């Protein structure tokens, strides 16, 4: 067995570990977490030549990034003692050729903080981008665009 660790100089003190297992034919297979809270069939999107009859990794990544970034946004607001409500974060994850024989991802996040002035909302979103684990994991690897809108 070979183990590869990249990008860290010291072991992380893990607060939580999620486990999932993919079986079958990868993008046309099945995925389940060890506790079975997430379990479903996967399918290649129609746009990529598949049936589109199941979830795909990009949807899972979009859902995870949106939820994680939203949590980071709320955490930053609490730390700065800024009251926010009715907020949302939408994520769009794109996949395409990377020009080097493989594939790459790009992410667009739309942050909605309706009750704050745009500049203050943008500052919160920028601060959330610095603490969000997904943002930290992808920084320098994929393009992430963050748009703050009022509604």
Residue 33 lies in domain: 1-55
> Tens of pLDDT along 62-91?
999 999 999 999 999 999 999 999 999 999
Instruction: Say yes or no: 112 and 38 in one domain.
Output: no
Q: Are 90 and 144 within one domain?
A: yes
My answer on whether 30 and 61 are in the same domain is no
Number of domains comprising the chain: 2
The reply to whether the predicted model has a pTM over 0.85 is: yes
Residue 78 belongs to domain with CATH number: 3.30.300.20
Domain boundary pick from 55, 81, 100 = 55
DSSP per-residue string spanning the chain: ------S-SS----S----EEEEEETTEEEEEETTSSSEEEB---GGGTS---SB-HHHHHHHHHHHHHHHHHHHHHHHTT----S-EEEEEEEEEE-SSSSEEEEEEEEEE-TTS-HHHHHHHHHHHHHH-HHHHHHTTTSEEEEEEE--
Query: pLDDT for 27-36, tens place per residue?
Result: 999 999 999 9
CATH number at residue 44: 2.20.25.10
């Amino acid at each position: 067995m070979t183990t590869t660790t990249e990008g860290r100089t010291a072991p992380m003190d893990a607060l939580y570990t999620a486990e999932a297992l993919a079986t079958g034919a990868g993008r046309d297979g099945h995925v389940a977490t060890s506790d079975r809270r997430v379990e479903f069939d996967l399918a290649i999107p129609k746009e990529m030549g598949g049936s589109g009859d199941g979830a795909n990794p990009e949807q899972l990544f979009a859902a995870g990034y949106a939820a994680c970034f939203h949590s980071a946004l709320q955490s930053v607001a609490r730390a700065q003692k800024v009251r926010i409500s009715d907020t949302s974060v939408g994520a769009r994850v794109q996949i395409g050729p990377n020009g080097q024989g493989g594939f790459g991802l790009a992410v667009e996040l739309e942050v909605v903080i309706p009750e704050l002035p745009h500049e203050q909302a943008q500052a919160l979103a920028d601060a959330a981008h610095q603490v969000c684990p997904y943002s930290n994991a992808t920084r320098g690897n994929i393009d992430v665009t963050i748009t703050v809108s009022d509604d």
